[in-house]
Amino acid sequence: MTLPSDVPFVQAPMAGGPSTPELAAAVASAGGFGFVAGGYLTPAALRDAIEATRELTPRPFGVNLFVPSRPSDRGPIEAYAQALQPEADRLGVALGDARWDDDGYPDKLDVVTALRPHLATFTFGCPSADEVARLHAAGVQVGVTVTASGDAAVAEAAGADLLLVQGTEAGGHQGGLGDDEPNRTPLLELLAAVRARTSLPLIGGGGVMDAAGLRAVLDAGAIAAACGTALLCTPEAGTSAVHRDALLSDRFGDTVLTRAYSGRYGRGLANRFAREHPDAPRAYPEIHHLTSPLRAAARRAGDADVPNLWAGTGWPSTREWPAAEVVRAIAG
């Protein structure tokens, strides 16, 4: 499989706001491969986003979905809620309902099957072989996010057409099949390990911010590099003002892997909230819903110490360039 793009640049799907139809279209129109991020959207909103992207560009693009997890033990969730209550009191909001849901996954699969984007990719798990076959029957290619070499066999057995290999450097959630421990394997090392297990095409993501980074990923055997952090401050992205300001300043000098915000490991700027809650329980999406009002209130207040400020290790190189300029700077 090859990507229908002019250059080996993939816009990483960044759910929760940063990914927009305008960003996907701008990347695609610049010769890269754009993505609609389906996570957290309702099925109707996903349909609207796909249709809006098609109105903005005739180029092919992909759609990313979250594979549902299993409900988590309530005890650690309730203990974490108690630990967060002072933060909620300080911000003047109630904690969210720490509920489990499937993110509308079955209905979103229906949307993707009906609207038939070029590629559907999956995060937090692997679709079933029947789901992959259904997408293939609709003419949709399938990709699976992996953060360990062992994930490759699972995805290949399900019928995946390609793998999105996510190194530890990547910002945002670690999207592989497991979350017992954080992935600490650098991208180039992980690409080599995955390539030893499969002949499927690979897209490498994690810390790619310039042409040299892209070349290293291609030299490691990938067909393209996925870039997310490099696009966060583009005018086409839906990144919040608090998040943009934090990326463009030197207030937070490093990133950290944390479950504090969602109950799944993700890499973001090391603000106070991320540093104060290193023992947040493994409970996605329950913790995501629990902390959602805190994060929203902090963004409204311009408080960068509380919200998730997802960013990869290359974040100091983030620029306020249009998306097309980022594509050209990295991919030529």
Q: What is the CATH number of the domain that holds 30?
A: 3.20.20.70
Q: Give me the number of domains the chain comprises.
A: 1
Residue 310 DSSP symbol:
B
Residue 85 lies in a domain: no
Model pLDDT, residue 291:
98
For residue 109, give its domain range: 9-68+103-239
Q: Is the pLDDT of residue 214 over 90?
A: yes
Model pLDDT, residue 224:
98
Question: Which is nearest to 9 in space by CA: 244, 329, 232?
Answer: 329
User: If residue 62 lies in a helix (H) or strand (E), which one and from where to where?
Assistant: strand 61-66
Model pLDDT, residue 2:
85
Phi, psi of 64 (to 5 degrees): -115, 135
CB 34 within 8 A of CB 324: no
Q: pLDDT tens digits, residue range 117-141?
A: 999 999 999 999 999 999 999 999 9
Q: Is the pLDDT of residue 164 over 90?
A: yes
Residue 114 lies in a domain: yes
User: If residue 298 lies in a helix (H) or strand (E), which one and from where to where?
Assistant: helix 286-301
Residue 313 lies in a domain: no
Residue 139 class from Cβ within 10 Å (0-12 exposed, 13-18 middle, 19+ buried)? exposed
Q: Describe the strand order of the beta sheet including 162-166 as a list of residue ranges.
A: 9-11, 224-227, 202-205, 162-166, 141-146, 119-123, 61-66, 34-37
Residue 90 lies in a domain: no
Rounded CA separation 32/136 (Å): 23
Amino acid occupying residue 4: P
Rounded CA separation 200/1 (Å): 8
Q: pLDDT tens digits, residue range 143-160?
A: 999 999 999 999 999 999
Model pLDDT, residue 1:
77
Model pLDDT, residue 250:
84
For the chain, the first-to-last Cα distance in angstroms comes to 22
Residue 129 lies in a domain: yes
Residue 227 lies in a domain: yes
Question: Which is nearest to 67 in space by CA: 121, 138, 3, 129?
Answer: 121
Render the burial of 56-71: b for 16+ CB within 10 Å, e for the rest.
bbebbbbbbbbbbbee
Residue 130 lies in a domain: yes
Mean pLDDT of the chain: 98
CB 142 within 8 A of CB 63: no
Q: What global pTM score does this model have?
A: 0.97
Question: Which is nearest to 332 in space by CA: 9, 49, 4, 75?
Answer: 9
Render the burial of 80-89: b for 16+ CB within 10 Å, e for the rest.
bbeebeebbe
What does the pLDDT average to over 280-297? 98
Residue 321 lies in a domain: no
Question: Which is nearest to 18 in space by CA: 40, 51, 50?
Answer: 40
What does the pLDDT average to over 178-186? 96
Q: pLDDT tens digits, residue range 303-331?
A: 999 999 999 999 999 999 999 999 999 99
Place of tokens 């999956």: 122
Q: pLDDT tens digits, residue range 56-96?
A: 999 999 999 999 999 999 999 999 999 999 999 999 999 99
Q: What percent of the chain has pLDDT over 90?
A: 98
- Asked, as a colleague might, if the bond just before 18 is cis with ω within 30 of 0, I would say no
Q: What percent of the chain has pLDDT over 70?
A: 100
